[in-house]
Structure 1
Amino acid sequence: MTDLDNHVHAKTNSSSFVTFSLADETYAIDVLQVQEVLKLTEIAPVPGVPDYILGIINLRGDVVTVIDARRRMGLTEREPDDAARIVIIDVDNQNVGILVDAVAEVVQISPEDVDPAPAVGNDQSSRFILGVTSSEGGLTILISLEKLLSDEEWDLLRNIN
């Protein structure tokens, strides 16, 4: 079974994805991995971590590490505005916040509507892509949260949290 099959459930012929924007592109992640969406809040910096780790937040007594999705994917940086959101995700029982430009909507995507990831872009961002689908609004890029961080980086996050 491929990564794409794991995220686009063939049994129902569709799956739900949360869409968000980064650098004028639309991305989508599996809705089952999204815990909640927060307005931008104060993020406490953590010294000695990679530059894409913004720091930590207190989420109802739990410490959650926040990652800048733009930096992590090698996109141009931008100061967050009022539309910016922190998407709290669960990957391998680890909660992590991902700072995105804006969260759009939940969409249904059928497996037959997903094309394999094209071999374009820089290696840093293309390794996170599961596939691409097109709609009236343009292209939507499906992201693998498991690939967002290497095993060593997940270990680092566990130590921060």
Structure 2
Amino acid sequence: MNETGKGLTESKKGELLQYLTFKLIDETYGINVMQIKEVLRYSEIAPVPGAPSYVLGIVNLRGNVVTVVDTRVRFSLPECTITDDTRIIIVEHDGEQIGLLVDAVQEVFYLYQGEIEQSPSVGNDEALMFIQGVYQKEEELVILLELDRMFERNEALGIEAMS
């Protein structure tokens, strides 16, 4: 079969994107790598009194104070148990660095914008509003997150006040 017989052309598939996958319980999630600054091993997090329930506290990252969010709590999932695989994904949102505590980081993969499917309306409403879409990667469904929705302006202000 020739190239045109293989399906959509690259232009119809859209932009080529790169995602980092991570685990929360048994689900696989993905974040666009363009929003990720770095991935850290778990380190001591200093609690912040009066912070929202999903904010674990702050860490010092080379002289910068970074707010760390418990991604499980943010998605209304049970709290995380810290293991050797636990990581903090440092992302940038509106010029601020925010850490996302996750169970484990897996891999980086590529997909075309046109391969992202609309998310089915299942799960709790809290987590659904953070989902950009889903991608069927071999035998695994990857839930692609929209960080802008995770940290709406009013919530970001609360996080920024701690940074």
Whether these two folds match at TM > 0.5 is yes
Aligned to 2:148: 146
- TM-score, normalisation: structure 2: 0.89
Contact residue 29 and residue 145 of structure 2 kept, 8 A? yes
Residues 1:119 and 2:152 are matched in the alignment: no
Name the Cα RMSD after superposition.
1.6
- TM-score, normalisation: structure 1: 0.90
Deviations 1:36-73 (CA, angstroms, capped at 9, x unpaired): 00000010000001111000000000000000000001
Residues 1:35 and 2:55 are matched in the alignment: no
Contact residue 116 and residue 132 of structure 1 kept, 8 A? yes
The alpha carbon displacement at 1:11 in A equals 8.5
Deviations 1:134-160 (CA, angstroms, capped at 9, x unpaired): 122410000001111221110111111
1:135 and 1:11, CA in 2 relative to 1: closer, same or farther beyond 3 A? closer
Amino acid of the structure 1 residue aligned with 2:115: D
The aligned runs of 1:83-102 (5 Å cut-off) are 83-102=85-104
The alpha carbon displacement at 1:14 in A equals 1.5
Partner of 1:141, secondary structure, is strand
The alpha carbon displacement at 1:119 in A equals 1.1
1:12 and 1:113, CA in 2 relative to 1: closer, same or farther beyond 3 A? closer
Greater Rg by CA: 2
- Percent identity between matched residues is 44
Contact residue 116 and residue 133 of structure 2 kept, 8 A? yes
1:10 and 1:108, CA in 2 relative to 1: closer, same or farther beyond 3 A? farther
Deviations 1:96-153 (CA, angstroms, capped at 9, x unpaired): 0000000111110112321111111111000000000112241000000111122111
> What is the CA–CA distance in structure 1 between the aligned matches of 2:12 and 2:159, rounded to whole Å?
32
Unpaired stretches in structure 2, ≥5 consecutive residues:
1-10
The alpha carbon displacement at 1:10 in A equals 7.6
Partner of 2:161, secondary structure, is helix
Aligned to 1:104: 106
Residue range with higher mean Cα deviation, 56-65 or 115-124: 115-124
Contact residue 14 and residue 114 of structure 2 kept, 8 A? no
> What is the CA–CA distance in structure 2 between the aligned matches of 1:12 and 1:110, rounded to whole Å?
6
Partner of 2:48, secondary structure, is coil
Residues 1:77 and 2:79 are matched in the alignment: yes
Unpaired stretches in structure 1, ≥5 consecutive residues:
1-8
**Alignment coverage as a number of residue pairs:** 153
> What is the CA–CA distance in structure 2 between the aligned matches of 1:139 and 1:11, rounded to whole Å?
19
Contact residue 10 and residue 111 of structure 1 kept, 8 A? no
